[in-house]
Amino acid sequence: MSEIKTVGVIGAGQMGSGIAHVVALGGYDVRLHDVSRERIDAGIAVIEKNMARQVGRGIIDDAAMKAALARIQPAEGLEAIGATDLAIEAATENEEVKKSIFRSLQPYLKPETLLASNTSSISITRLASATDRPERFIGLHFMNPVPLMKLVEIIRGIATDVPTYERAVTFAQSLGKITSNAEDFPAFIVNRVLVPMINEAIYTLYEGVGTVDAIDTAMKLGANHPMGPLELGDFIGLDTVLSIMNVLHEGLADSKYRPCPLLVKYVEAGWLGKKTGRGFYDYRGETPVPTR
């Protein structure tokens, strides 16, 4: 199978821009796509800002930053994504949205193009079934923030062939990442463990066991977590936390994965965390303040 030289990234948000960032630094040519040129440009601006921060910290040098930024090209249409060797979808955590993207991409794909999803919870087998190449479809779950986090979960669907798996592992490792194999079960490994913990912390708040500050302080100082679970939920995005809990609840049919009603209420209110300015903390001032 041909060597991966060009990578298409669909979605220029937090995850997509982070993936494009590390892929470009890894020496690959990147095509970045989103629903509008404004979103693509905003994603590239975030990449430039984050790379400049890495330069300031001595992680990369200025020459590496300039070379990487030159490798990233905006792709306003899916045609440019279809011409790449590997296309990675990094859209919102919604199965129908992801399937729709792959269906729209299909007419433009080269026969040899590999497909990957950055989904953090949705079945790779089901997503692959929406394409014409389930054997060349795989899950590449990068962790957030992508430039800082070392792990990439590799998830094979039922039809994923061995060459696709091997190329995916080689690709992820070429970016300086460490890979972990996960079976195609709801939420895989990291979020199967992590997101129910966040949901339980929200139940602890909902039931009045502790305040936002008390819960996060207890877990940081009592369990040596670098970030409290409610703060982490805000960082991930409470809509994403709810989506993952719904996948777990529906996929495993176990009441222990029932999303907390308070989580549902926050998402319905549009309080999605840091990205909207309010979640379990209010981020609109100089210092985050608990909202409960």
Q: Where are the domains of the chain?
A: 4-181, 194-288
Please name the residue ranges forming H helices in the chain.
14-25, 37-56, 62-71, 78-82, 95-105, 124-128, 162-174, 190-206, 212-222, 229-236, 238-252, 261-268
Distance between CA 139 and CA 155 in Å, rounded?
Answer: 5
Class of domain 4-181: alpha beta
E strand or H helix at 139, and its extent? strand 137-142
The single residue of 117, 120, 121, 199 carrying the catalytic annotation is 120
Q: Give tens-digit pLDDT for 142-177.
A: 999 999 999 999 999 999 999 999 999 999 999 999
For the segment 35-40, the average pLDDT, to the nearest whole number, is 96
Tokens of 83: 């011409």
Catalytic residue check, 200: no
Q: Does the pLDDT value for residue 1 go beyond 50?
A: no
Catalytic residue, from 50, 117, 191, 243: name it: 191
Count CB atoms within 10 A of the CB of residue 119: 28
Edge to edge, the sheet with strand 151-156 lists 72-74, 29-33, 6-10, 86-89, 114-117, 137-142, 151-156, 178-182
Residue 249 catalytic?
no
Tell me the per-residue pLDDT of 73-129, one tens digit each, with 9 for 90 and over. 999 999 999 999 999 999 999 999 999 999 999 999 999 999 999 999 999 999 999
Residues of the binding site: 11-16, 34, 93, 98, 120, 144, 275
Q: Is 21 a catalytic residue?
A: no
Give pLDDT tens digits for 229-282.
999 999 999 999 999 999 999 999 999 999 999 999 999 999 999 999 999 999
The correct CATH number of 194-288 out of 2.60.120.260, 3.40.50.970, 1.20.120.1200, 1.10.1040.10 is: 1.10.1040.10
* Residue 141 is a catalytic residue: yes
Q: Would you tell me the crossing angle of helices 261-268 and 238-252 to the nearest 10 degrees?
A: 130
Mean pLDDT of 198-213: 98
CA gap 70, 62 in Å, rounded: 12
Q: 2 pLDDT band (50/70/90 cuts)?
A: low
Note the pLDDT of residue 151. Answer: 98
Binding positions for NAD(+): 11-16, 34, 93, 98, 120, 144, 275
| Interaxial angle between packed helices 37-56 and 62-71, expressed in degrees from 0 to 180 and rounded to the nearest 10 | 160
Residue 63's contacts (CB-CB under 8 Å, 6 or more residues apart) are none
Q: Residue 69: what pLDDT?
A: 98
Tokens standing for residue 87:
């296309």
DSSP character string of 31-91? EEE-SSHHHHHHHHHHHHHHHHHHHHTTSS-HHHHHHHHHHEEE-SSHHHHHTSSEEEE--
In the set 21, 153, 199, 243, the catalytic residue is 153
Mean pLDDT, rounded, for 35-50: 97
175-189 pLDDT, tens digit per residue, is 999 999 999 999 999
pLDDT for the residue 176:
97
What's the confidence (pLDDT) of residue 253? 96
Amino acid occupying residue 113:
T
* C-alpha span between 116 and 132 (Å, rounded): 13
